[in-house]
Amino acid sequence: MAQIFAYIVHKDGVLDDTALELVTAAKKLGGEAIAVVTGSGVDAVCTEAAASYKEVYKIDNEALAYPNAEVVRKALVSVLPSDAIVLIPHTTFGMDLGPGLSIKMDSAFVADAVDFDGIEGSTLKVVRQEFGGQVSTHMNCDISTGVVINVRPGPFLPDESKSAGGSVVDKSGDLGDLAVGRKFLEIIVPEAGDVDITKSDVLVSVGRGIEDEDNIEAANELAEAMGAVVSCSRPIVDAKWLDKSRQVGTSGQTVKPKVYMAMGISGSFQHLGGIKGSPFIVAVNKNPKAPIFQVADVGIIADILEFMPELTEALGDK
Amino acid sequence: MEILVCVKRVPDNEENEIELNSAGNDIETDDLVYSVNEWDNYAVEEAIQMVDANGGSVTVVAVGDEESEEVLRREMAMGAEKGILVSDDAFEGSDGKGIATILKSVVEKGNYDLIMTGAQADAGAAQVGGMLAALMDVPYASLVNKIEVAGDGLKVGREIEGGDQEMNEITLPCVLSIQTGINEPRYVGIRGIRKVASVEIPTMSASDLGLGADAVCEGAAKVTRQDYFLPELGEGAEMLEGSTDEIIEKLIELLKAKGGLQ
C-alpha cells in the first residue's frame, strides 16, 4: 500500500485536535501515517507531533508562516510522492487545499470522509454523507495514482496514546518555487455581540424551522420562560435575523451549555461542531429524518412555530 | 469585468425529506423539489453587484440535463446577462474532476476575469471550484464572504473557524467559491422570470467543447458512488410521543432534572 501522510494543522505552536484524529483515521486505513508539518519555526510542533507519529516531515519556510492553502499546496506537491494517500482535516483550510492539491498530484479526491470501509487492491471504500447528513453513501475510490482525502473532524476519535516516539525529518530542502497569486493579509475578528452565548447554561437555538424573522419572538419568549439565551444556526445569520455573535457552529461560536434546545435545526456537522461538553440536547423538528435526531437526547416531531408557544405557556402555568 | 458563475440544480434541502427507495440503495427522486443550489444564488448576486459597480457582464453556466435550464433562467431573471447549458449524456457519472474539466472547457470558450462557484452543493464536497482553479492554473480562494476590487486584483475575505475572517489579495483571473451570507440575494418573482423567458440559452455538448470520453464521464471518474444508506450515528434520541400536553409535561420534567429551567 502506498504511504499515508497526515497534514498537521497547528496554530500558535499548538496541535489542532485533528492532528490526533488523523492517527486513528490512518489506522482505519490499515497503516501508519507520516505527519507533515508546514510552517515557519515549527520545531516544537514537529516534536509534539513525533509523540504520535513514527515519522514527521518538517517543511519549514518563511513563505509558510501563515497556512495559505495555495502556498501549502505547492510545498506538498514538491515533497510528497505522487502515489501518496494524503489525509487533510475537512476544515475551512482543508476545503481550500484538498481539491486543488488532488489535481496537481493527479490523484483522486474525496471530501468530508466520515469513515473508511477497507482497501481492496487499488480501490478504497469511503463513507461520506450527502444532503446535509440525511443520507450516507459508500464511495469507491481508485487510489492507484494516489488520493487526497479530506477527513471530517470528529468521527475519528483522537489517538491519545502518544507512544510513537517518532523522528523528525527535515524536508525543507526539497521545496521548489512557492510563489502564488494569493497573498494573506490579516485575520479580522468579529466584534462582540450584545450577549455572550458561550456563557449561558441553557440555549434556545433556532434554525430554518423558524421560517420568518417575526417568529424569532416566539423563541425569545420561550428563552425568557426558561431563563435561557437565544442562539441560532447559520441560515438565521445569513438571513440577518440574528447577529453573527449568536451563531453556534464551527464558523460561529463554540458553546458548552448544560441544556441545548435545537428548535427547527437540522443538525449539520458544522453546526454540531460548535456544541461541546455533551449537553442534554432536545431536538424539535417537523422532519423525522432530520440528522439532529441522531445526536439529540430527546426528540419531538413537531412544528416549532406551534410547539414553542405551547411550551412557553405551559412553563408560565407552573 | 466579465464574470462566469457556475450554478447547479439540486434537490432543495429545505423542502425535502430525503428517503431511500424500496431497494434501499438509492434515494427516492420522484417527489423531490428542485431549486438552484443555495450557495450559487449568493454567488450570482455577488457577481451582479460587482458588475453593477464596475461594469461588465455576468454569465451563468450549468452542467446538467435540460431541466437545469429553469435554474439558469431564474438566475438570469436576477440580472445575469447570458446563460449556457452544458448538457450531454456522456457527462453522466462524472466525478468532481470531470465536472471541473467540463467547466474549464467552458471557461476557455469565453474571456472571463473572474469565475465563481458556490462553496458547496448537494453532495457537500466543496470540490469543483478548487479543482477548476488548479486545472486552469489560476489562484483560488474558498468560502469567500467579502469581495472588493483593489487595483488590478481583488481583496477577498474568507470565512474561517470561529467566525473570523481571513483577508487575502488575489490576482485576476481567479476562481472564488462563495459562502452564504456574503449578501442578500434579490427576490425573483414570476414577472422577472417571464421577462427572460424568451432569451435563448445555448446548449453545449461534449463535442462542442472538444471533450472526449477519456476526460469526463463515468469511465474517467476515479470516485464513484456505490449506494445510499441511512446513517446510524449513536443511539439516537428518545422520541417523545403522545398528545402535545403529554409531550410537554414529560419534557418539562426532563428539563427540570437536567438544569434546563433556570
DSSP string, chain A: -PPEEEE--EETTEE-THHHHHHHHHHHTTS-EEEEEEESS-HHHHHHHHTT-SEEEEEE-GGGSS--HHHHHHHHHHHS-TT-EEEEE-SHHHHHHHHHHHHHTT-EEEEEE-EEEEEETTEEEEEEEEGGGTEEEEEEEE-TT-EEEEEPTTTSPP--------EEEE-GGG------SEEEEEEEPPPP-SS-GGG-SEEEEE-GGG-SGGGHHHHHHHHHHHT-EEEE-HHHHHTTSS-GGGBBSTTSB-B--SEEEEES----HHHHTTB-S--EEEEEES-TT-THHHH-SEEEES-HHHHHHHHHHHHHH-
What the block records as the C-alpha cell of A72 is 501549502
Of B199, B217, B209, the closest CA to residue B70 belongs to: B199
Considering only CB atoms, A258 lies closest to which of B97, B251, B258, namely B258
| Residue-level pLDDT at A318 | 61
pLDDT number for residue B22 = 80
C-alpha Rg value of chain A to the nearest Å: 22
Window from A257-271, B131-145, B225-239 with minimum mean pLDDT = B225-239
| Alpha-carbon dihedral angle through residues B80, B86, B92, B98, given to the nearest 10 degrees | -80
- Interface list for A 139-178 with B (CB within 8 A): 139-142, 145
Residue B233 has pLDDT above 60, yes or no: no
Please name the residues in contact with A16: beta carbons below 8 A apart, sequence gap of 6 or more. Answer: A8, A9, A10, A89
Q: Nearest Cα to B143, choosing from B177, B115, B97?
A: B177
Alpha helices in B144-185 (DSSP H): none
Same domain, A130 and A55: yes
- Written as one letter, the residue type at A187 is I
Task: Please tell me the total number of residues recorded for chain A in this structure.
Answer: 318
Whether residue B261 lies within 8 A of chain A, CB to CB, comes out as yes
- Tell me the chain B residues in contact with residue A102 when contact means C-beta distances shorter than 8 Å: 97, 131
Q: What is the pLDDT of residues A2-38, one digit of tens each?
A: 999 999 999 999 999 999 999 999 999 999 999 999 9
CA distance A178 to A86: 20
Asked if residue A279 and residue A231 are part of one domain, the reply reads yes
B220 pLDDT tier (thresholds 50, 70, 90): confident
Report whether B127 contacts A111 (CB < 8 A). yes
Report the pLDDT averaged over residues A144-169.
Answer: 96
Q: What is the CATH number of the domain that holds A208?
A: 3.40.50.1220
Number of domains chain A contains: 2
Confidence of residue B213 (pLDDT cuts 50, 70, 90): low
- By CA distance, what is B229's nearest residue in A? A136
Which residue is associated with the grid cell 425529506?
B17
Q: Is residue A181 part of a domain?
A: no
Tell me which residue has cell 449556457.
Answer: B84
Counting DSSP H helices and E strands in chain B, the numbers are 7, 13
Question: Are both A84 and A208 inside the same structural domain?
Answer: no
Count of CB atoms situated within 10 Å of the CB of A177: 8
**Alpha-carbon gap: B150 to the closest alpha carbon of chain A (Å):** 13
Check CB contact of B151 with chain A, cutoff 8 Å. no
For residues B115 and B84, the answer to whether their CB atoms sit within 8 Å is no
Query: In whole angstroms, what is the distance from residue A247 CA to residue A255 CA?
Result: 10
Q: Are residues A85 and A134 in the same domain?
A: yes
- Beta partners for A259? A202, A280
Indicate if A89 and A137 belong to the same structural domain.
Answer: yes
β-strand partners of B228: A137
> CB B124 to CB A310 under 8 A?
no
The mean pLDDT value for A171-190 works out to: 96
Q: Could you tell me the sign of the dihedral formed by the alpha carbons of A157, A158, A164, A167, in that order?
A: positive
Domain boundaries, position A60: 4-174
C-alpha distances in Å from residue A219, one per residue of A227, B136, B138? 12, 48, 46
Q: What is the residue-averaged pLDDT of chain B?
A: 92
Taking residues B247-259, report their average pLDDT.
95
Mean pLDDT check: name the lowest of A40-44, A80-84, A253-257, B16-20.
B16-20
Task: State the best of B214, B233, B249 to mutate against chain A, taking most chain A CBs within 10 Å.
Answer: B233
- Where a domain ends, among A116, A142, A174? A174
Residue A94 lies in a domain: yes
- Look at residue A190 and tell me if it is in a domain: no
Residue A291 contacts B where some CB pair is shorter than 8 Å: yes
Classify residue A113: in a domain, yes or no: yes
The stretch B70-77 carries a mean pLDDT of 96
> In the predicted model, is pLDDT for residue B166 greater than 90?
yes
Mean pLDDT value across chain A: 95
CA distance to partner chain A, nearest, from residue B118 (Å)? 13
Within this chain, do residues A15 and A146 fall inside the same structural domain, yes or no? yes
**CB-closest option in B17, B155, B233 to A294:** B233
Confidence of residue B212 (pLDDT cuts 50, 70, 90): confident
d(CA B159, CA B174) in angstroms, rounded, equals 18
Question: Is B193 in CB contact (< 8 Å) with chain A?
Answer: no
Phi-psi region of A282 (alpha: psi -120 to 50; beta: other; left: phi over 0): beta
Q: Which residues of B touch A70 (CB under 8 A)?
A: 139-140
Contacts of B168 in chain A (CB under 8 A): 68, 182-185
**Where among A174, A206, A227 does a domain terminate?**
A174
Q: Does B149 have pLDDT greater than 80?
A: yes
What proportion of chain A, given as a percentage, has pLDDT over 90? 92
Q: Is residue A186 part of a domain?
A: no
The DSSP secondary-structure symbol of B49 reads: H
Best mutation target, A105, A251, A301, A307, to test chain B (most B CBs within 10 A):
A251
Asked if the structure places residue A214 within a domain, the reply is yes
**For range A46-53, the mean pLDDT:** 98
pLDDT over 70 at A99, yes or no: yes
The answer to whether residue A44 sits within a structural domain is: yes
Any CB–CB contact under 8 A between B34 and chain A?
Answer: no
Average pLDDT of span A278-301: 93
pLDDT tens per residue, range B4-45: 999 999 998 766 778 888 887 788 888 888 999 999 999 999
> Within this chain, do residues A59 and A165 fall inside the same structural domain, yes or no?
yes
- Least trusted range by pLDDT, from B28-32, B54-58, B153-157, B194-198: B28-32
Give the neighbor-by-neighbor strand order of the sheet with A135-142.
Answer: A115-120, A123-130, A135-142, B223-229
Other beta carbons within 10 angstroms of residue B221's beta carbon come to: 20
Nearest to A245 by CA among A193, A187, A188: A193
Contacts of A184 in chain B (CB under 8 A): 166-168
CATH classification of the domain holding A63: 3.40.50.620
Q: Judge whether B31 is closer than 8 Å to chain A, CB to CB.
A: no
Q: CB–CB of A190 and B163 under 8 A?
A: yes
Q: Is residue A282 part of a domain?
A: yes
Burial of B214 (0-12, 13-18, 19+ CB in 10 A): exposed
Could you tell me if A238 and A159 lie in one domain?
Answer: no
B100 and A CB contact within 8 Å: yes
Given a cut of 60, is residue B79 above it in pLDDT? Answer: yes
Q: Which of B138, B245, B258 sits opposite A259 (nearest CB)?
A: B258
Residue window 157-176, chain B: list those with CB within 8 Å of chain A.
Answer: 157-171, 174
Residues A89 and A31 in one domain: yes
Tell me whether B253 touches chain A (CB under 8 Å): no
Please give, rounded to a whole number of angstroms, the shortest distance from the CA of A190 to a CA of chain B. Answer: 6
Phi first, then psi: what are they for B100, rounded to 5°?
-65, -35
A162 and A41 share one domain: yes
B218, pLDDT greater than 80: no
A157 and A210 both lie in a single domain: no
Yes or no, beta carbons of B122 and A131 under 8 Å apart: yes
B217 compared with B233, residue with greater pLDDT? B217
Chain B residues touching A244 at Cβ < 8 A? 163
User: Which of chain A's residues have a Cβ under 8 Å away from the Cβ of B130?
Assistant: 95-100, 103
pLDDT of B30 reads: 80
Q: Which one of A174, A206, A233 terminates a domain?
A: A174
Partner-chain contact B164 A188, CB within 8 Å: yes
- Across the interface, whether the CB atoms of A135 and B20 are under 8 A apart is answered yes
Residues A241 and A279 in one domain: yes
Could you give the maximum distance between any two Cα atoms of chain A, in Å? 72
